[in-house]
Amino acid sequence: MKKSTELIEEAKNHPNGWVYVLDKEYEGKEEVPPEFIKGAWKVDKNGILEGDFMPNPNYHGNK
């Protein structure tokens, strides 16, 4: 998965955390079942995405 401008901006709000990529059905919702999380990017202490996208093996779209 490519790093989009939106993901890069979102990372700035979550230093030392994660930015999750959600199934379109759950974008913008507060509660998301784990099987609707496509995967995540790790965010470093400066709010920058680091490493590779980590896909969720349990994402419903993988079946």
> Which of the four pLDDT bands, split at 50, 70 and 90, describes residue 62?
low
User: What range defines the domain where residue 58 resides?
Assistant: 5-62
| Cβ atoms 44, 50 nearer than 8 A | yes
What's this model's pTM, rounded to 2 decimal places?
0.83
Report d(CA 32, CA 22) in Å as an integer: 8
Nearest alpha-carbon partner for 38 in 61, 9, 19, 18: 61
Q: pLDDT digits over 2-52, tens only?
A: 788 999 999 999 999 999 999 999 988 889 999 999 999 999 999 999 999
Number of domains, the chain: 1
